[in-house]
């Protein structure tokens, strides 16, 4: 009977052991860490998906104050923050205090399996990252720079200076802005209002600030970098330089206007000249029927136009005939008496003039016909 009981006990123990080993087959989460900034804490982890094919894997995350972990029965003190979540993260913001050390753990489980716990130690005051100032204002006052620094804030919009017990300080970095790299100057202070002196007048300066916790040697990233220009009287060399630049600009403007004027005048005189052609020439030019046209080289016909020419030879003949007539008139006038000389002279003079005009006209026509025949030939 005892042997049967021992056999049954052994079988049950073996079954429980096999079940327990099957229950622990699921892999644990990996790369467990805390992303923190001031009082915001997010636990993150990785987990290989191929270890649980066709199964839904969820995760549970818990925390425990570290001093309670020394007790033998501490399971009842673990507090769950995320239970059976699908994400690989769990937000512990607001669950843990900034000054206390905690233990954080996470495990993976399915409907049939579960992994072991993965546990890390985390103290926000020592391990949490410190954020930069929440805001930074820069202004120029009488040639100096006034810097107003706002403390980094917690998740409840509380100043981190109250949590750090006035250990919070600031490292101010400032430099003169220019095209070439400038050597920066540093100033460390715990004040929220800082005035930078001994700066150049009418010069641009840039400032950025870093938060620091000296007790744990923690430093934040730098804040945004505002820039402003200091006030003060402008140097004389700068005034003279601006004056020269303004003169150069005025000269260029006048020169440009002069060039435009000359160009406009040239175009106007070219396309719209001030001297106009006579009206009869404009009418002749605008009339299509009277425009002079050139003959085509292939035209076989000859075109003759009436050309009237008065030559010097014709004028000499007319003068000779007139002189002969005057001599005849003078001889005739000598034969007649003084009583009828006036009437006779008038009649003879008229007859001779008509004969002279007739002979001159005939001679001109003969010369004209001869020259016209030569032109047509």
| Residue where a domain terminates, one of 172, 199, 230 | 230
Which of 71, 99, 127 represents a domain boundary (last residue)?
A: 127
Burial of 207 (0-12, 13-18, 19+ CB in 10 A): buried
Predicted local distance difference test score (pLDDT) of residue 17: 38
281 by Cβ neighbours in 10 Å (0-12 / 13-18 / 19+) ranks as: exposed
Quick check: is 263 in a domain? Answer: no
Q: What's the start-to-end Cα distance of the chain, in Å?
A: 166
The four Cα atoms 69, 75, 76, 82 give a dihedral, to 10 degrees, of 100
- Give the model's pLDDT for residue 191: 94
Do 38 and 116 fall within a single domain? Answer: yes
119 vs 105: CA distance, rounded Å: 4
Domain containing 32: what range? 25-127
Biggest CA pair distance of the chain: 212
Q: What is the CATH number of the domain that holds 64?
A: 2.60.40.10
Task: Specify whether 153 is located in the same domain as 72.
Answer: no
From first to last of its 377 residues, the chain has per-residue pLDDT tens of 444 344 443 434 333 334 444 444 688 999 999 999 999 999 999 987 766 667 789 999 999 999 888 877 888 899 999 999 999 999 999 999 999 999 999 999 988 888 999 999 999 999 999 999 999 999 998 889 999 999 999 999 999 999 998 899 999 999 999 888 889 999 999 999 999 998 988 889 999 999 999 888 999 999 999 999 998 776 678 788 989 999 999 999 999 999 999 998 888 888 777 777 677 777 776 665 555 555 555 554 555 555 555 554 545 545 555 555 555 555 444 444 444 444 444 444 555 555 656 665 665 665 555 554 444 44
Domain boundary among 212, 230, 248: 230
How many separate helices (H) and strands (E) can be counted in the chain?
7, 15
CA–CA separation, 350 and 362 (whole Å): 18
Q: Which SS3 state, helix, strand or coil, does residue 274 take?
A: coil
Inter-residue contact 185 to 63 (CB < 8 Å): no
Instruction: Assess whether 168 and 207 both reside in one domain.
Output: yes
CB 189 within 8 A of CB 166: no
Does residue 46 form part of some domain? yes
Whether residue 51 is found in the same domain as residue 80: yes
pTM of full prediction above 0.75: no
CB 132 within 8 A of CB 211: yes
**Distance from C-alpha of 202 to C-alpha of 238, rounded to nearest angstrom:** 10
């Amino acid at each position: 009977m005892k042997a049967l009981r021992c056999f049954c006990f052994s079988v049950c123990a073996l079954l429980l052991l096999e079940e327990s080993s099957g229950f622990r087959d699921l892999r644990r989460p990996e790369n467990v860490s805390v992303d923190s900034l001031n009082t915001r804490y997010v636990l993150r982890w990785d987990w290989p998906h191929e270890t649980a094919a066709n199964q839904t894997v969820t995760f549970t995350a818990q925390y425990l104050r570290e001093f309670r972990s020394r007790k033998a029965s501490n399971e009842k003190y673990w507090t769950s923050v995320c239970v059976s979540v699908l994400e690989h993260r769990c937000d512990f913001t607001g669950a843990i205090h900034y000054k206390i050390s905690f233990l954080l753990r996470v495990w993976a489980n399915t409907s049939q399996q579960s992994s072991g716990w993965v546990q890390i130690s985390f103290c926000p005051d020592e391990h949490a990252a410190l954020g930069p100032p929440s805001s930074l204002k820069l202004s120029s006052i009488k040639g100096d720079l006034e810097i107003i620094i706002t403390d980094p804030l917690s998740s409840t919009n509380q100043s981190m200076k109250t949590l750090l017990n006035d250990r919070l300080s600031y490292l101010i970095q400032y430099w003169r802005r220019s095209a070439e790299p400038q050597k920066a100057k540093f100033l460390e202070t715990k004040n929220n209002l800082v005035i930078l002196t001994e700066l150049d007048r009418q010069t641009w300066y840039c400032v950025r600030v870093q938060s620091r916790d000296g007790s744990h040697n923690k430093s934040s990233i730098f804040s945004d970098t505002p820039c402003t220009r200091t006030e003060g009287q402008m140097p004389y060399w700068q005034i003279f330089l601006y004056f020269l630049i303004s003169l150069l600009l005025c000269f260029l403007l006048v020169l440009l206007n002069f060039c435009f004027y000359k160009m406009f005048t040239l175009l106007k005189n070219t396309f719209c000249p001030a001297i106009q052609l006579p009206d009869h020439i404009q009418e002749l030019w605008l009339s299509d029927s009277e425009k002079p046209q050139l003959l085509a080289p292939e035209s076989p016909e000859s075109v003759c136009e009436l050309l009237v020419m008065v030559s010097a030879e014709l004028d000499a003949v007319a003068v000779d005939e007139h002189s002969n007539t005057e001599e005849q008139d003078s001889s005739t006038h000598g034969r007649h008496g003084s009583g009828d000389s006036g009437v006779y002279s008038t009649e003879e003079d008229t007859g001779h003039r008509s004969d002279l005009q007739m002979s001159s006209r005939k001679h001109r026509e003969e010369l004209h016909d001869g020259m016209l025949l030569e032109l047509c030939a």
